[in-house]
Every structure is written in structure tokens, then in C-alpha cells.
Chains A and B, each alone.
Chain A
Amino acid sequence: MQFGIFSVGDVTTDPTTGRTPTEAERIKAMVTIALKAEEVGLDVFATGEHHNPPFVPSSPTTMLGYIAARTERLILSTATTLITTNDPVKIAEDYAMLQHLADGRVDLMLGRGNTGPVYPWFGKDIRQGIPLAIENYHLLYRLWREDVVDWQGKFRTPLQSFTSTPRPLDGIPPFVWHGSIRSPEIAEQAAYYGDGFFANNIFWPKEHFQRLIDLYRRRYEHYGHGSADQAIVGLGGQVFMRARSQDAVREFRPYFDNAPVYGHGPSLEEFMAQTPLTVGSPQQVIDRTLQFREYFGDYQRQLFLMDHAGLPLKTVLEQLDILGEEVVPVLRKEFAARKPAHVPDAPTHASLRAAAARKAAQEEAGR
């Protein structure tokens, strides 16, 4: 089981002080948070990709490349890479390059993006979001697996005799997660390729994500990648912790009440009751996260949203200390004890390389 954090990269005024970080401060804070994630023993740091204020991370591989150089173990990922408005050729190149620089510590999560104006800024139309995600990923998939690609589609210039460089590290493409909040087509897509499926698990009640994940698992089995309970599932989550739960609630409430996405809407209590948000003691976070397994089955990756809504860097780093020291070690133990042997871990570069070597050896032996 992998544990990590994902960052939206929003520049938000701290509602308790009125102070807004500069873009430079926020970008450096994201790096500091990623380094801290490795320091406290987490496995994954994932950055969002946005092309409009108040968000800073427009260039994920630049940031992840810098973090790669300053970390040893951390897997660098995205939440999400825009498969609709980015040229799949550029995604193929950028993430293969990052793979080489990071010695394979790279995967990525694809998403559509839900901000209407971003699409035309990149020459696209949000109404074509699903067809763009389907066609662009099919090209990306081929660019990483075929050295020379001839290709023609609806959404970009045709390619004749095109080779995307550099080739993926060791010939192993980065593992891909497909992220979705509500689209059954994306669960179907992830299942078709045998890729991972990541349910944001933040804005909707668990019943909604149960249906989405159940669909992905059924279709994963249908397409012959393994049994439904072997499908590769990732989940988001959102927590704020203090030793005493009432302190956590008191401290987090102004950030919740003014948060850019759900602020001025439901109360903190309503949102905690109806979505996976947990504000409380580390033990409450442990209990709630273990429940995810009961709702969604054995899963491979848990990412927490930690640095958002204007929380100061100092607070986020304290949260990461609590997560790394008190929560994740318990969760690792408890999840491992519950996981049946036939359920795989999340693929990594090393595990995919080993699997490819095994497959090659089998083919050699069978010849």
C-alpha cells in the first residue's frame, strides 16, 4: 500500500490572518511539502496541473524534476495531468524525460479538467472532453510502447514515422492512473487498458464512489487483466489532525468555511458526515481510512489532500509530521494484515520492469 499527498496548488488567502502567499512562496512551499513527504516516510507526492489563477502548478514536470533531484525514494506523480488539453506527444516526451531523471520514480494520473475556458485556450472544446480523453490517451499509450508511430485521429495533426524521445526508461512506460469524480467512461477506459483508477473521494458521498469503483473493478475483470479485486485502485482523502479532536475542529473550521470549493456551503459537520473529510484526532483518521477498505475493497494507493484552503506552510508541515509519525505506520500495518495475498501492490517502475523481464523469459522458454 502506498501513502502520499496530492496538492491542488491553489494560492488562497489564509482566512485567519488575511495573508495571501505570493506565487513564488506557494511554489517553494509545494516543494518543501514534497520534500517533507519523503522525510516523514510517505511514498508519493502528486501535483495538480492548472492553467488559470489562483493556481500555480502549470508545469508539473518542471516542478517534479526539481523535487526528483532533491529526493531519493519519493514517487513523483500528478493529480491530474490534463489529457484533454495537453498534446499527448508532449506528455509522452515530458514524462519519459522525467522518468530518466528520477530513475523511474514516476507515474501519472490523467484527468479531463473541468474549467470551460481552459479548453479553448488550448484550441479544444470542453464538450469533447470524453472523446479527447479517449483518443489522446490511446495515442499516448502507443507513443510509449511503439518506437515508430503512424497515427491519425480527430484532434491533432497526423503523425507519420514519429518517434517520441526519449524512449521510456528501460522500455517501461510510466504507470498510469485515470482519475475521475463521476464519469463511467473513464472507469471503463482504465479497465480496458488495465491501468489504475483513482477516485477523488473528496466531494461526494461514499455510495457514489462505490458505484464508480465497482464499475471499474467489474470491467477490469471483463477485459481479462485479473479478478475484480486485483484491479488497481487509488483513493483521495482529506484530513486535518490535532491530538485532541476538538482542537482540530476549532483550528480547521475557518479554513473549511472559507475554502474555495466548498466554503459557504455545507457546515463542517455536514461535510464530515457525508464525505470522507475527517477533522479530528490521528486515531479518528486511522479508523476512517481503514473504513475506506470496507467500502471500496483492498486498494493500492491512498493520497491525502493537505495543503489547501490557505493553510499556512508551518501547519501543513505539522500535519505531515502527524501523518508520518502517528497515522501512516499504523495504517501500513493494519492494511497489510488485511490484504489477501493475491491482491497486488501498486505497480512501480521496479515491479513493472521485473514483470516485463519475467514475460520475456517465459516467451523465450516457450519458443
Chain B
Amino acid sequence: MTARTLTVVSAGLGRPSSTRLLADRLAEAARRSLEARGTTADTLVVELRDHAHHLTNALLTGVPTGGLHEVLERVADSDGLIAVTPVFAASYSGLFKTFFDVLDPDALAGTPVLLGATGGTPRHSLVLDHALRPLFAHLRALAAPTGVYAASQDWGDDGEGVLAERIDRAAGEFAALVAARAPKRRIDPYEAPTPFEELLPDR
């Protein structure tokens, strides 16, 4: 068995929240799919609600207070990210965007990401493609082809398992991307700085 690190970021605000519910379903499906490929997943779920004040602090002062620094490091170190947001005003929530505003812009480069969103009505389902995909394209992340949008009515669908199928398909694509890549190894610039000879080559 090989091992990969996953982080699940949920921007749901309610307790309990349907966004967290979808996030958990995606994480569990990804875990199963990775396991079928001989890979164990070390998964951590982060509720952005718990870090909302610290995210504001980071915006205002540049300093990630509280446990936020560890969360940002964890995401940057992860082999895959599951990112789930509620739809607010026809897009991702401000809290969700703030997290990715504060995250180092290179942290997700080349990292597989599974996109999820929740909303009151199915009419916002394109938020995945019109809002989330461009954001993660900007971050140079690898968004899995299928994202999962869950409207309220999907949680009580007619037994055909439409939501569950979409979750499995999306998680399968995501797991394939994660398993196909070597575990992430970040270069620590404080451990291995660019030597001065390279900073000023033409002395």
C-alpha cells in the first residue's frame, strides 16, 4: 500500500451543514477509490468556519493567526484537495474565496482538486464550472473533470442514486489523478535557499 495525504476544505456555515455533508461523502468516496488502487489516504477535514476570524486577521495583517498557519501548510503539503463551498449570491462564498486568497498562490500548483458545491436549488449547478473552475485554473491546480453540485432536493432524491453516482464518478476521477502522482515534496526555501552565486551570477 502506498500513502497519500488529502485535505478536505468545507466552507459550510451551518452546524450541521449540507456542505460538510457533501464534503464527507466526497472524502469517503475518494478514500474507497484510492484504497481500491492500493493507496491509503490520510485525510483531514477543515471547516473554514473555525478559522473565519483568523482568515480576516490574515487579510488585514498578513499574519495567519491561531491554527490557520498549520492549515495552510497542510493544504500546501497535501497530495489532493477536496474543496466544497455553499453557493452565495451566485458564486462561491466569501469565506471560501478568502481561504484561497490567503493561501500561497503556488501552494496548489499541479495538485489534484475535487470540486463540490451545495445550494438551495439546482439552478446554480453551473457554479462549479463558472466560478470554481476558473479559480482553481488560476491556482494552476488540476481540477477533476467531474465536480459535484448538490441541491437541497438531491439529498432526498428518488432512489435512483443520482447524487451517489456523481459522487462516486467524481471521486474516482480525483483518486486516479492523486494515485498517478508521486507524493508531493515541497522544497523548503528556509532549509535549501537559492545560493548567492545563483542570485548574482554575473559578478
Which residues of A pack against B, CB within 8 Å?
130-131, 134-135, 138, 184-185, 187-189, 191-192, 203-205, 211-212, 214-215, 219, 223, 261-266, 270-271, 274-275
Contact = CB atoms under 8 A, between A and B. Distances in A.
Given A138-B203, A203-B62, A203-B63, A266 B196 contact: no
Interface stretch (B153-161, B178-186, B187-195): B187-195
A265 B193 contact: no
Contacts of B199: 130-131, 134, 185, 188-189
Nearest to A266: B57
Nearest to B58: A265
9 contacts: A134-B200, A185-B199, A188-B193, A215-B191, A262-B60, A262-B63, A265-B60, A266-B63, A271-B65
Given A262-B60, A262-B61, A275-B63, A189 B196 contact: yes
Interface of B: 56-57, 59-63, 65-66, 69, 189-191, 193-196, 199-200, 203
B120 to A, nearest CB: 32
Contacts of B61: 203, 261-262, 265-266
Given A205-B69, A274-B63, A185 B194 contact: yes
* The 10 residue pairs across chains A and B that have the minimum distance between CB atoms: A265-B60, A192-B196, A211-B190, A184-B189, A184-B193, A262-B61, A266-B57, A265-B57, A188-B193, A265-B61
Contacts of A135: 200
Given A211-B190, A265-B57, A188 B196 contact: yes
Instruction: Tell me which of B57, B189, B190 has the highest count of chain A C-beta atoms within 10 A of its own C-beta.
Output: B190
A224 to B, nearest CB: 13
A204 B63 contact: yes
Contacts of A275: 63
A136 B69 CA distance: 33
A264 B66 CA distance: 16
Contacts of A131: 199
A264 B60 contact: yes
B39 to A, nearest CB: 32
Contacts of B190: 184, 211-212, 214-215
B106 to A, nearest CB: 14
A346 B193 CA distance: 25
